Structure 1
Amino acid sequence: MSKQKRIAILTSGGDAPGMNAAIRAVTLKALSFDHHVFGYYGGYNGLIGEHFTELGAAHVADIIHRGGTILKSARCKDMHTNAGILQAVNSLRKNHIDALIVIGGDGSFKGAQELAQHWSGQIIGIPGTIDNDINGTDATIGFYTAIDTALDCIDKIRDTAQAFERTFVVEVMGRDCGIIAMESGLASGAEQIICKELIDDESSFVQDLKEKVADSLKNDAAHSYVIVMAEHSLSISAQELAQQLSNFTGIDSRSAILGYVQRGGAPVAGDRILATQLGVASIAHLEAGDNGVMVGIEDNKVTLTPLKETSDTHQRNRSFVARLKEYRL
C-alpha cells in the first residue's frame, strides 16, 4: 500500500475544453489509492488565498462533458512576485499538501517551477491549452475541440463568402503558435493560411499574398477566397489586411475574428479521452515518485517531460510547418 497523500489540483491560465475531464480522472484515480484530493479555485489565486474544497467522487461524477472548469481559472499577478510565490508555498505547507497537479499551459508550468524552488512536495503538470504550444506532447487538452469549433465557423463563413463573392480573412487563436490556423485551414480547404512560422519577411509575404489573391479571383467565377490567419502572425490586424486586399484586388474583403468562442463548448471525444489518459497518468507517476514533470502523449504513448523543457517549442514549430508544406494543395 502506498502512503496516503493529500493531493491538490488547480486549473490555471486560459480555460480549455476537457479540463473538467482531467479533474475527474485525477480525482477518481487518486481516490482509488485512498488519497485525499483538494481542488483549489481560480488557479494560483486560490492557492494563495487558500480557497479550496475537498473533492469526492460525487463532485466529479457528471462533469466529463462540460466545457470550462469547475475549479475556475485565472491569471495570477502575485505569482510574478517573490511574496506571492512564498504565500502559495506557505498555503501548501499549512494545509499539509503532499503533491500538486497543475492543469494549464506554459505560464502555469512556469508558476509550478517557481513553487518547486521553495517547496519539496511533488508537482506534476498536465497540458491544458487550446493553443497546443507545449513541448513534450503531440496534443494538449482543448486543442481538438478548438479545431472543430474553428472549422465549423470557417465553413459557415465560406457560405457567406460564396454568396457575396467576397474574400474573408478569418483570425483564429493560438497566441504565439500557428497550429490552430494550420489545422483548421487545412480542414476547411482555405485558399491561404497565415502563421508567423511561414513568414521570413512580412512585407514581401503580404505583397505576394495580395498578388495570389488577385490572380485567383481573376480566374474564379465565384469570386470567393478564404484566408485563415493566426493571431499575432502579422504586425497588422485581420481587419487591416482585409482592407488592403480590398484596395489591391477591387473585390470586397472582410475580416472575422473568432476569438473566445474557440475556448468554449463541450469537449469532443478526442479531448475527453486525452484528458482522461493524462489525468490517470499523472497519479500513476506520482505513485512512482516522479516530480517536476509534465505528462504528455507522443506517438500514442504517455511520456514525461521536465517542466523546464515544456516551453522549448523550436523543434515542435519546425515539425508542424513541415506538415503544412507537405499537405497544402
Structure 2
Amino acid sequence: MTGDPKTSIQSGIIIIDKPPGPTSHEVAAWVRDILGVSTGQGGTLDPMVSGILIVMLGKAAKIAEHLLAHDKEYICLLKLHGEAPEDEIRNVVNSFCGRIYQRPPRRSAVKRALRIRTIHAIEVLDIEGRLVLFRVRCEAGTYIRTLCVHIGLALGVRGQMVELRRTLSGGFGESDAHTLHELADAKAAADEGDPEPLKQMILPVERAVADLPSITLRDTAVDALCRGAQLAGAGVLSCGTFTKGETVALMTASGECIGLGTARIPSDKCVPGKKGFVARPKAVLMEPGTYPSGWTKKSRVK
C-alpha cells in the first residue's frame, strides 16, 4: 500500500484465519468489501473447516495457480465408530504416509475420478477413546475427509472427520494469519491516518513466490517483459536452478516480482547476456512503464 492511507491497494497477499461457518468465497468477499479491492483465494476450505486461507489482492490473483499448488498441513480430529487398540491406530495412521489413492467425496465440486496424492508426513498427536487427533502434511488436492474414511476402514471400525483446521499452506502459517475483525480494525485505523497495522498485514507478492526458482532480469529488459515480450538471454542478469517447462519467478535486480514465467530451456543452458529465448511470461504483475524502456524502435529507411 502506498501514498495516502485511503489509497486503494494495488496488489498483495493477506493470510486470513478463516473461522468455521462461512465459505472461502464469502471470506474473500468480506476482505474485498473491507479493503475495496478485488480478491481471490488460494486453496478453498469447506465451510466448517478453519485455518489458513490465502487471499490474493488485486493483481496478485494472477498467481493463483501457483498458490493452489502449495503443500498443505492440517490438524484433524477423527472419530472412530468402534474400539481399536492405540498401538494399532498409530500403526495404521502411519501407514498412510506416502502415495495414496483417493476419490473426491460426493459433496466436492470436482469430478469424482480416482487420483493419486502424496502424504508427506502424518503423526498421531493424541488418542482419547474413539477420538484420534493427528497432524498431516500433504500434497495440494488431498481430501482429509476421505483420508479419515480410509483410516477407519483400514482399522475395520469405520470412521469420520469431525473437525479440521489448516495450519500451513506453502510457506504461510498461523503466525502470519489475521482474523477478519483484526483486518477491519486495521483498515479503520488506516482511514483515520495510521496505515502501519494494515501495512503489516498485507504481505508482498514476493513472499508468495519465494519457493520458486527465479530469473533476475536486467533493468533494461523489465519493461519489454511487462508488455508481453519473451525473455531472451540478453536480458538475464542471473538465474537459479530450474528445468525446461518449470514455472519460474521473474525478478528485478532490486528483488521485485515482475511476474511468473515458463522456462523455455533448463537453467544449465541459460547463459546471461547470450542470444536465445530463456522464458515466456505467463502471469505479469508489474505495470508497463514501471521501469524505463530498454529498447527503441529503429526508424524505417525510406
Tell whether the structures are fold-level matches, with TM greater than 0.5. no
Higher relative contact order (CA 8 A, sep 6+): 1
Which is higher, the Rg of structure 1 or of structure 2? 2
The structure carrying a bigger strand percent of its residues is 2
Name the TM-score, length of structure 1 as normaliser. 0.27
Name the TM-score, length of structure 2 as normaliser. 0.29
